[in-house]
Amino acid sequence: MTKENRKLKKQQKRAENRAMWARKMKEEPGAFWTYVILRTIVILILIRSIFAGNWDNAIICVYVLALYVLPQLVEKRMHIEIPSVLEIIIFVFVFLAEVLGEMQSYFLKISYWDTILHTTAGFLLAAVGFSLVNLLNSSEKARFHLSPVYLAVVAFCFSMTMGVLWEFFEFSADRLLLLDMQKDTVLTQISTVDLDPTLSNTPIVISGIEDMVLRLSDGTDYAIGLGGYLDIGLYDTMEDLFVNFLGAVVFSVIAFFEARSVRRPLTTALALHKRKAPAGK
């Protein structure tokens, strides 16, 4: 490819991007302005983080900006349309999780912040799973059509699979990078067979735990002082999966009944659909 051809191709891509954003501003003003406002905020935070030398926050900002352009790339590459409502929810969700949750420590400051986000994620992932199968189901080239039950089951299974994969990611990040993404839980009672002196697999229950003392390799004793036994992530993981399950069930049940009905307000608002061909083609 010659230099002139490469330059022409770049100009064509820029023209296509400008046309795409102009169309989105006209046809989907809610999604467009949500994207512009949140992206501007993230860019300002990125600039401030760079000047302050806070590279952890700067990396999160770059990550968020990459996520914000992902919907447009998916639409362009897969020739599908993401509903405006779903796109707005995605932009806001990423902002709440990464900017407020991680950078502003809302995961620690607000008790149920993580629970709310995982419940929402379970609901949205079920919508994505439903959309992927429904695209095939509504295709004129498809030789078979799936029942509402099957659509609901696939939506649920897709959401739970994505939830499990995310917990795998958190566990890997904690073990390899020591990030503590799987937040700990303070317990005042534990039950374990490891303390059974008879080795008969009998759980020993210890109640009324007020503190833990860690003995380090150099012989130093370190009192945690959190008021109980420190669980390292198990309770957080199971709670995340449980609320993901609830979100997935809620969407799947609604999707099942809507798939049997002519009126489909929720699945129409959240489900992906094929891009309409331009007039005259």
Tell me the per-residue pLDDT of 18-43, one tens digit each, with 9 for 90 and over: 777 777 788 888 989 999 999 999 99
Q: Read off the pLDDT of each residue in 226-251 and give the average, rounded to a whole number.
A: 95
The answer to whether 209 and 229 have CB atoms below 8 angstroms apart is yes
pLDDT of residue 143: 58
User: Is 263 a residue whose pLDDT tops 60?
Assistant: yes
Residue 280 in any domain: the answer is no
Q: Are residues 8 and 98 in the same domain?
A: yes
Domain that holds residue 40: 1-110
Residue closest to 45 by CA, chosen among 103, 105, 107, 120: 103
Q: Are residues 75 and 165 in the same domain?
A: no
Residue 90 in any domain: the answer is yes
3-class SS of residue 222: strand
Q: Read off the pLDDT of each residue in 97-124 and give the average, rounded to a whole number.
A: 94
Q: Are residues 31 and 77 in the same domain?
A: yes
pLDDT of residue 19: 76
Q: Read off the pLDDT of each residue in 115-127 and give the average, rounded to a whole number.
A: 95
3-class SS of residue 216: coil
Q: Are residues 146 and 248 in the same domain?
A: yes
Residue 209 in any domain: the answer is yes
Q: Are residues 27 and 95 in the same domain?
A: yes
- Rounded to 5 degrees, φ, ψ at 25 are -65, -35
- Rounded to 5 degrees, φ, ψ at 82 are -95, 120
User: Is 278 a residue whose pLDDT tops 60?
Assistant: no
Q: Are residues 93 and 167 in the same domain?
A: no
**Ranges 20-29, 102-111, 269-278: which has the least confidence:** 269-278
171-225: pLDDT as tens digits: 999 999 898 889 999 999 999 999 999 999 999 999 999 999 999 999 999 898 9
Point out which residues pair with 231 in neighbouring strands: 185
The answer to whether 118 and 242 have CB atoms below 8 angstroms apart is no
Residue 26 in any domain: the answer is yes
Residue 134 in any domain: the answer is yes
User: In total, how many domains does the chain have?
Assistant: 3
Q: Read off the pLDDT of each residue in 156-178 and give the average, rounded to a whole number.
A: 95
pLDDT of residue 9: 76
The secondary element (H helix, E strand) that includes residue 42 is helix 29-52
56-89: pLDDT as tens digits: 999 999 999 999 999 888 888 888 888 899 999 9
Q: Are residues 166 and 252 in the same domain?
A: yes
Q: Are residues 123 and 101 in the same domain?
A: no
Q: Are residues 129 and 260 in the same domain?
A: yes
Q: Are residues 64 and 189 in the same domain?
A: no
Residue 100 in any domain: the answer is yes
Q: Are residues 3 and 135 in the same domain?
A: no
Point out which residues pair with 223 in neighbouring strands: 213
Taking the model in full, what pTM does it have? 0.85
pLDDT of residue 1: 58
pLDDT of residue 244: 97
Q: Are residues 9 and 138 in the same domain?
A: no
63 Cβ contact list (under 8 Å, min separation 6): 98
Share of the chain above pLDDT 70, in %: 94
Average pLDDT, the chain: 89
Residue 281 in any domain: the answer is no
User: Is 281 a residue whose pLDDT tops 80?
Assistant: no
The residue out of 67, 86, 110 marking a domain boundary is: 110
Q: Read off the pLDDT of each residue in 217-236 and give the average, rounded to a whole number.
A: 91
pLDDT of residue 81: 85
